[in-house]
Amino acid sequence: MKVYTKTGDKGTTALFGGTRVPKDHIRIDSYGTVDELNSYIGLIRDQEMDAHYKTILIEIQDRLFTVGAILATPAEKEVLKNGELRLKNLGIIDSDIELLENEIDKMEESLPQMTHFVLPGGHPTVSHCHIARCICRRAERLAVHLSHNEHVPEIAIKYLNRLSDYLFVLARKLSSDLKADEVKWIPRK
């Protein structure tokens, strides 16, 4: 099987189910941003950190493939001709969100309470987490935008929302673990 198919040479691509749309379609932008996020989380996972974080990041990357598949499937293609769900073995479930919430809660137990906004930076790994958080927020905004006109399962948007929270807290936790400076934003008086 060749990597290149030439079917997209004129600026269109296929969604799950075969429907062709322009490559700048909001659905493509939405799941493409999830793919960008997944790649960036791979970069975070390649940094030196506790093995537990890496295990969680792999789980997140797996879930992001699922979110991408959900976003790549138009509502009219969710059910196959034989009546089965196209993504029957895929889905985001409540326990996926609970995992993120539990991890956030565990990390926050050892962190000081936030009293100021935190400026991104202090260590390259921390900065990568903040960039991934921003990509995640963009993916969430695009999924919400898509949902205004097409079906997007609410749980996929909820997962992206919680993931951005996780990435923020992971950045704070890694700042602490790596003994990096956490710079607080102080507004002008």
Domain that holds residue 64: 20-176
How many beta carbons lie within 10 A of that of residue 167, not counting itself? 27
The whole-model pTM stands at 0.90
Q: What Cα–Cα distance (Å) separates residue 30 from each residue in 27, 156, 157?
A: 5, 12, 11
Residue 188 lies in a domain: no
CATH of the domain at 99: 1.20.1200.10
Domain count, the chain: 1
Alpha helices in 91-153 (DSSP H): 94-109, 124-147
For 148, the token pair is 């205004």
172, with CB counted inside 10 A (0-12, 13-18, 19+), is: buried
The 10s digit of each residue's pLDDT in 161-182 is: 999 999 999 999 999 999 887 7
Residue 187 lies in a domain: no
The 10s digit of each residue's pLDDT in 40-58 is: 999 999 999 999 999 999 9
**Element at 21 (helix H, strand E):** strand 20-22
What per-residue confidence (pLDDT) applies to 21?
76
